A and B are shown apart, each in its own frame.
Chain A
């Protein structure tokens, strides 16, 4: 169970983006979070993935409270999340070739031995041709780069997936392909999903349950 309890977060202590938001995702469940732009959905997604320290409130992962945020979070807790961001351009290090981009989490965890095999399997799964793996981010399209970013999010076999407007920059067919990859992974691993977006039609078809931002008990501050 991934639980966010009474989370208040933002970028300035005196003016948080949202106050006292609670949300939970059961293992294997897909939860869609709908909300207008600027309401704090992305910030909430980053808090859920332990990437942003909330001003107050708790995040509980499978019964264990988060041990910290960003680097201070225990590695096992951090890597339990696979995160896909809205803009592939910004979420890919411009210097890494796509193969290295996907392999980076394995190398960071001292699992370099598995790189060749895992990268081959995962890139095939997300539909990246072998000829693209030697290219750098500026040499591929947004859709291709987002496929690589999804492969990177899946490479450590996370128990939770956080997709922050994953498909906002993509065309319909790439969107369908990436959602299918996420669903296939969830079906075989039983991972939970928190999908953030403002596309109601997509999220309602994709997720078991969609939550409107206002229904979170959130009191918006702006």
Chain B
């Protein structure tokens, strides 16, 4: 109530400035969303279509063409053993995206289950679980991730496990608070009074309320998971070096960067940054849709 009056008052005193800011904001956001959607669509098409359609071996070594700067034959140039960097980047993006999506989904499932269980049972179980979540959250993600990958030999799955196990904590918190807030609504009281079992209340009334939040958390987690995969691989702890991923590409390019060859670092670097920002941009738009009150506050 107080907020509405406040906004109305400020709209009265400075209507022009407010509206103009609102319009600009709205249109830039629309463009950001469209741009993000285009980039994400291109990325998905590239990782799905390029490997089956382009019958080229991304690991084919051509020592005669090593460290070529970008040209028509090799738009992104070649690396220190003459592999085509455009092809390596697309394959690397494929692996990184796979790791990111699988890790994000696993982390969301764990987080949702833990958060919902904590909220539903309450009492000492809730307190113990949430203090454990706090404990794990206090350790830097990357450090914990390194600790976990170090227990396995290099490969895709240790990285997925490591990223998933370090990223479910925030989802557990979000889902727990969401379930707690939904559970105290009068419509849950009405359902109980109507004879609904615990299971029915959970599946019919609570879960549908939590799913959008959990889905959003999953999408927001994908870029984060990709950055973690890249960071682990860059440190030499993630994927084996011959397997192209965005992290291993940047790691392999370190030596050539010192020699003044910029392209083996720049293009994989852009491949890490641009798609992840695009995914985050789409997720941001989704979040604003889910939370219209916040959107209207932003727009006014």
Say yes or no: A90 contacts B195, CB within 8 Å: no
Task: For the complex, give the distance between the alpha carbons of A149 and B194 in Å.
Answer: 11
B208 engages A51 (CB within 8 Å): no
Flag if A78 contacts B197 (CB, 8 Å): no
- Complex contact A104–B194 (CB within 8 A): yes
In the complex, the answer to whether A156 meets B192 with C-beta atoms within 8 Å is no
B198 touches A (CB below 8 Å): yes
Inter-subunit contact A105/B195 (CB<8 Å): yes
Structural contact, B189 and A109, CB atoms closer than 8 A: no
0/1 per residue, B171-212, Cβ < 8 Å to A?
Answer: 000000000000001110111111111101100110011000
Residues of A within 8 Å of B193, CB to CB, are 49-51, 78-79, 81-83, 153
Per the bound structure, the CA–CA distance linking A92 and B197 in Å amounts to 17
- Residue A70 CB within 8 A of the other chain: yes
A71 & B192 in contact (Cβ 8 Å cutoff): yes
Give which listed residue, B185, B191, B208, B209, contacts A108 with CB less than 8 A: B191
Residues on B with beta carbons closer than 8 Å to the beta carbon of A95 = 208-209
From B187, B192, B195, give the contact of A93 (CB < 8 A): B187
Of residues B190, B197, B204, B205, which shows the largest number of chain A Cβ atoms within 10 Å of its Cβ?
Answer: B190
CB distance from A211 to the nearest CB of B (A): 23
Known A51-B193, A108-B197, A152-B194; judge A93-B205 contact (CB<8 A): yes
Interchain nearest-CB distance for B213 vs A (Å):
14
Residues of B within 8 A of A83 (CB): 189-190, 193
Are B186 and A156 in contact, CB atoms less than 8 angstroms apart? no
* Chain B residues whose C-beta falls within 8 Å of the C-beta of A51 in the assembled complex: 189, 192-193
- With both beta carbons as reference points, the residue of chain A lying nearest to B209 in the complex is identified as A95
CB closest chain-A residue, reference B192 = A70
**Which of A83, A153, A155 counts the most B-chain CB atoms under 10 A from its CB?**
A83
Q: Does A87 lie at the interface of the complex (its beta carbon under 8 Å from any beta carbon of B)?
A: yes
Report the minimum CB–CB distance from A197 to chain B (whole Å): 16
Chain A interface residue bracket vs B = 20 to 34
Interface flag for A85 (CB, 8 Å): yes
| Pair B197/A85 contact, Cβ less than 8 Å | no
Give bound CA distance, A191 to B197, whole Å: 25
**Does A85 lie within 8 Å of B190, measured CB to CB?**
yes
> How far is A89 from B196 in the complex, measured between Cα atoms in Å?
20
Query: A44–B194 Cα gap in the complex (Å)?
Result: 19
B195 touches A91 (CB 8 A): no
Bound-state Cα–Cα, A71 to B201, Å: 10
Greatest chain B CB density within 10 A among A81, A87, A93 is at: A93
User: What separation, in Å, do the CA atoms of A83 and B187 have in the docked complex?
Assistant: 10
**Chain B, Cβ-Cβ closest to A74:** B195
**Interface code B277-299, partner A: CB below 8 Å = 1, 0 otherwise?**
00000000000000000000000
Q: In A31-84, which residues have CB < 8 Å from any B CB?
A: 46, 49-51, 70-71, 75, 78-79, 81-83
Quick check: A79 and B195 within 8 Å, CB to CB? Answer: yes
Q: Which of B129-188 contact A (CB under 8 A)?
A: 185-187
Q: Using CB atoms, name the residue of chain B closest to A149.
A: B190
Structural contact, A87 and B186, CB atoms closer than 8 A: yes
Residues of A within 8 A of B208 (CB): 95
**CB atoms of A108 and B186 under 8 A apart:** no
Q: Among the interface residues B192, B197, B198, B204, which one has the most CB atoms of the partner chain A within 10 A?
A: B192
Interface pair A78/B195, CB less than 8 Å apart:
yes
Is there an interface contact between B198 and A90, defined as CB atoms closer than 8 Å? Answer: no
- A156 and B191 CA atoms in complex are apart in Å by 12
- What is the CA–CA distance of A78 and B194 in the complex, to the nearest angstrom? 7
Contact A90 B186 (CB under 8 A): yes
Closest chain A residue to B193, Cβ basis: A83
Contact of A71 with B197 at beta-carbon distance under 8 Å, contacts A93-B205, A95-B208 already known: yes
The distance in angstroms between the C-alpha atoms of A81 and B193, with both chains bound, is 7
Shortest CB-to-CB span from A148 to chain B, Å, is 11
Q: Is the CB of B194 within 8 A of A105?
A: yes
In the bound complex, residues from chain B placing their C-beta under 8 Å from that of A46 are 189
| CB contact list, A85-141 vs B, under 8 A | 85, 87, 90-93, 95, 104-105, 108-109
30 intermolecular pairs with C-beta atoms under 8 Å apart? A49-B193, A51-B189, A71-B197, A71-B198, A75-B195, A78-B193, A79-B194, A81-B193, A82-B193, A83-B193, A85-B186, A85-B189, A85-B190, A87-B186, A90-B185, A91-B185, A91-B186, A91-B187, A91-B189, A92-B190, A93-B205, A95-B208, A108-B195, A108-B196, A108-B197, A109-B194, A149-B190, A152-B194, A153-B193, A156-B195
- Nearest 5 pairs of A and B residues by beta carbon: A105-B194, A91-B186, A108-B196, A79-B195, A85-B186
Known contacts A91-B189, A93-B191, A153-B193; 5 additional CB pairs below 8 A are A83-B189, A91-B187, A104-B196, A105-B195, A108-B194
